Amino acid sequence: MHSLARFIGIGLVAAAAITTAACGSDSDSSSAPSTTAAGGKSTGLECTADDVKVTGGFGEAPTITIPDTCDAPKTLITKDLVVGSGPGAVAQQPLTMNYELVTWSDKQVLDSSFERGKPFGLTLGTGQVIEGWDQGLIGVQQGTRRLLIVPPNLGYGAGGNGVAPNETLVFVTDAVQVGR
């Protein structure tokens, strides 16, 4: 199986490293800091696309910085970092994409087509990739750099498939070609 297809099926839940001070007595369980699904301490604040920092332009391997000050989002988040041109991608349409994948819990690059020097081809909306890509790339235009923050239920979920179970995935994708 192609490594992107393997990793694009991954669903990861985030583990933020920042702990929140608890108020109240030790016997009051409601005052204890909550934990994330991956077992880390929760900050109580969900991250937005603007909290994740990305440097580098279209066609360049990006640098992705995930903050420690907020928790992984629980819903799919997309943000166009560079806007392309032409018609937006629709289901059943072929795409050629470059991507970099960073896992939320350890903030490490897990996979990158930029490093391999070979873009990844798929047909959108056909289940070839994780649901987070099938949903998150709808409307992408050729030449667009798009940030995708994929919650576990739209990634690999509890199964892991090569990453930690219930991991949140952060992708920076470049739409090299939309359609044929």
Q: Counting beta carbons within 10 angstroms of the beta carbon of residue 6, is it exposed (0 to 12), middle (13 to 18) or buried (19 or more)?
A: middle
Please tell me which of 19-23, 26-30, 69-73 the model is most confident about, judged by mean pLDDT: 69-73
pTM greater than 0.85 (yes/no): no
> According to DSSP H, which parts of the chain are helical?
3-8, 113-116, 131-136
Can you read off the two tokens belonging to residue 69?
Answer: 């000050």
The residue ranges of every structural domain in the chain are 3-178
We find that the CATH architecture of domain 3-178 is Roll (3.10)
d(CA 45, CA 124): 32
Give the residue, 134 or 14, on which the prediction is more confident. Answer: 134
- pLDDT tens digits for 120-160? 999 999 999 999 999 999 999 999 999 999 999 999 999 88
d(CA 21, CA 99): 37
